[in-house]
Structure 1
Amino acid sequence: MTRSFLIPLAAAGLVLAGCGDVGDAPVAETTAVETATTGPITFTGSALPISATDSTVQWTGAKLTGNHLGGFRTVTGDVYVDDGQVTGADIEIDMTTVYSDDDRLTEHLSSADFFEVETYPVAQFQSSSIRPVTAADSLLPEAATHVVTGQLTMRDQTNQISFPAVIERTDDGATVEASFLIDRTKWGITYPGMQDDLINDQVRLELNVATGDAVADGPELAS
Structure 2
Amino acid sequence: MKINRLMKNAVIIILAALLTCGCNSKSTEHYRVDRSKSVVEWKGYLKNGDFNSGTISVKSDSMIVKDGKVVAGSFSMPLSSMVNKNLPNDALKKQIVHHLQSADFFNMAMYPAVQFTMTGIVSYSGRNPEAVAGAQHLISGDLAILGEKHSISFPAKIILDEEKISVEGKVSIDRTRWSMTYASDESSPDGLYIKPFIDLHLKLFGRKIQD
**TM-score in same-fold range (> 0.5):** yes
Match of 1:93 among 66, 77, 93: 77
Structure 1 residues not aligned, in runs of 5+: 1-43, 214-223
- Equivalence for 1:168: 159
CA offsets, 1:31-86, max 9 Å, x none?
Answer: xxxxxxxxxxxxx9332111111211110111034111112135333221001112
Tell whether the 8 Å contact from 2:72 to 2:118 is kept in structure 1 after alignment: yes
- Equivalence for 2:207: 212
Tell whether the 8 Å contact from 2:174 to 2:196 is kept in structure 1 after alignment: yes
SS at match of 1:92: strand
- Provide the identity percentage: 26
Aligned mates of 1:69, 1:58 — CA distance in 2: 7
Kindly report the root-mean-square deviation, in angstroms, between the aligned alpha carbons of the 2 structures.
2.0
Aligned mates of 2:60, 2:54 — CA distance in 1: 18
Aligned mates of 2:73, 2:64 — CA distance in 1: 6
Does 2:108 match 1:125? no
Q: Would you tell me which structure has more helix in proportion to its own residues?
A: 2
- Equivalence for 1:76: 60
Aligned mates of 2:33, 2:194 — CA distance in 1: 33
Does 2:204 match 1:199? no
Structure 2 residues not aligned, in runs of 5+: 1-26, 86-92
Q: Which structure carries more relative contact order (alpha carbon 8 Å, separation 6+)?
A: 1
Tell whether the 8 Å contact from 2:46 to 2:190 is kept in structure 1 after alignment: no
Normalised TM-score (structure 1): 0.69
Distance 1:188 1:77, change over 3 A: farther
Tell whether the 8 Å contact from 1:61 to 1:67 is kept in structure 2 after alignment: yes
Aligned mates of 2:29, 2:122 — CA distance in 1: 18
Match of 2:107 among 112, 116, 135: 116
Query: What is the Cα deviation at residue 138 of structure 1?
Result: 4.6
Normalised TM-score (structure 2): 0.73
The count of corresponding residues between Structure 1 and Structure 2 is: 168
Query: What is the Cα deviation at residue 183 of structure 1?
Result: 0.4
Does 2:47 match 1:64? yes
Aligned mates of 1:195, 1:45 — CA distance in 2: 54
Aligned mates of 1:74, 1:61 — CA distance in 2: 19
SS at match of 1:147: strand
Q: Which has the larger radius of gyration?
A: 2
